[in-house]
Copies of this chain bind each other. A is one copy, B any other.
Amino acid sequence: MSKEKSVSGTVGKALDVLNEFASIGRPARFSEVLAASKYPKTTLYRLLQTLTNEEMLSYDPEEQMYSLGVRLVRLAHAAWEQSSMAPIARPFVDALSHEVGLTVHLAQLDGGQVLYIDKRNSSAPIQMYSQAGKIGPAYCTGVGKAMMACLEEEALERVISQQSFHRYTEHTLTSAQDMRQELLTIKEEGVAFDREEHEHNIICIAAPILSLKGKLMGALSITTTRHRHSIDDLALFKDHLLDAAKQIGDEAEVWHFPDKL
């Protein structure tokens, strides 16, 4: 459990516990959760019971293991469809991926991290769930940097403070200063590059998706490997990418919920 921020209300605590399970990433016993938790024994116990009753957690009495429940999958399906821009963006993502023949990612900013909400791989048919819902660092991914470049000072400050600046590779930017510098460049160019900053051999070009009013909606990226392409190669896709991003942004603007029943 994130021991820093104290959450108010029972609901907050319950969701906090769910988060903990998500970050543990595998089924866990009561004591294990307790150790990681900021809540006292009894309280946590009751929370787990409640969540299990509500089927947000499932409990295996055999193994005495709690794990995240399938009800979440169900809810998420609805969330993905109605609240992310994935459904709107889908045709454009498809088209872009087809055009350039490379992998395309669609992401949003969520709590200082990058949340991938869609992925299209022109060649291999892929397993979406294994990508959608996945999170990644913002400071060393193309989509992350592209989005950060669009934040106004206050929001940017907050997001930067949430970055770990862990050095994944020798190309990773590891300080807020470097970051700010990089963001200026990105603002100028209109696109961000990931120069093997997160994973060796993986490079990408990314662009922010803005609504007409200028509100940041997410980001779009084209990913490839150093083996197959150079950064300069990727730069050639800039117009295609910006075009797709613009189209999605415009569409998202228009997208007004099916008016009244």
Identify the A interface with B (CB < 8 A): 7, 9-12, 14-15, 18-19, 21-23, 25-27, 47, 50-51, 53-56, 58, 63, 65, 67-84, 86, 90, 108, 110-111, 115, 117-118, 121, 124-130, 132-135, 256-258
Is the CB–CB distance between B70 and A72 below 8 Å? no
CB neighbours (8 Å) of A134 from chain B are 77
Nearest B residue to A12, CB-CB: B54
CA distance A73 to B181 in the complex (A): 32
Known: A75-B19, A76-B76. A115 touches B70 (CB 8 A): yes
Contact A77 B132 (CB under 8 A): yes
Most buried by B among A18, A71, A76, A124: A76
Other-chain contact of A128, B71, B74, B81, B132 (Cβ < 8 Å): B132
**Contact A69–B90 (Cβ < 8 Å):** no
A140 vs B135: C-alpha distance when bound (angstroms) = 37
Structural contact, B256 and A63, CB atoms closer than 8 A: yes
| Residue among A12, A27, A72, A121 facing the most chain B CB atoms (10 A cut-off) | A72
Give the distance in Å from the alpha carbon of A115 to the alpha carbon of B70 in the complex. 8
User: In whole angstroms, what is the CA distance A257 to B7 when docked?
Assistant: 30
- Contact check, B11 vs A90: say whether CB atoms are below 8 A apart: no
Most central of A55, A83, A108 by chain B CB within 10 Å: A83
Q: A127 CA to B144 CA in the complex, in Å?
A: 23
Inter-subunit contact A26/B257 (CB<8 Å): yes
Distance of A227 Cα from B44 Cα, bound (Å): 55
Query: Does A73 contact B76, Cβ atoms closer than 8 Å?
Result: yes
A53–chain B nearest beta-carbon distance, Å: 7
Besides A10-B11, A18-B75, A55-B110, 16 new A-B residue pairs in contact (Cβ under 8 A), listed by A number: A7-B54, A9-B10, A11-B11, A11-B47, A11-B51, A12-B53, A15-B56, A19-B75, A21-B82, A22-B75, A22-B78, A26-B82, A65-B257, A67-B82, A73-B133, A124-B125
Contact, CB under 8 Å: B56 / A90: no
- Contacting residues, chain B, for A50 (C-beta < 8 A): 9, 11-12
Task: Please name all residues of chain B whose beta carbon is closer than 8 Å to the beta carbon of A72 when the two chains form the complex.
Answer: 72, 75-76, 79
Return the contact of A70 from the options B26, B83, B257 (Cβ within 8 A): B83
The reply to whether B58 and A70 contact each other, CB–CB distance below 8 Å, is no
B-side contacts of A51, CB under 8 Å: 11
Contact B27 A257 (CB under 8 A): yes
CB pair A79–B73 under 8 Å, yes or no, is yes
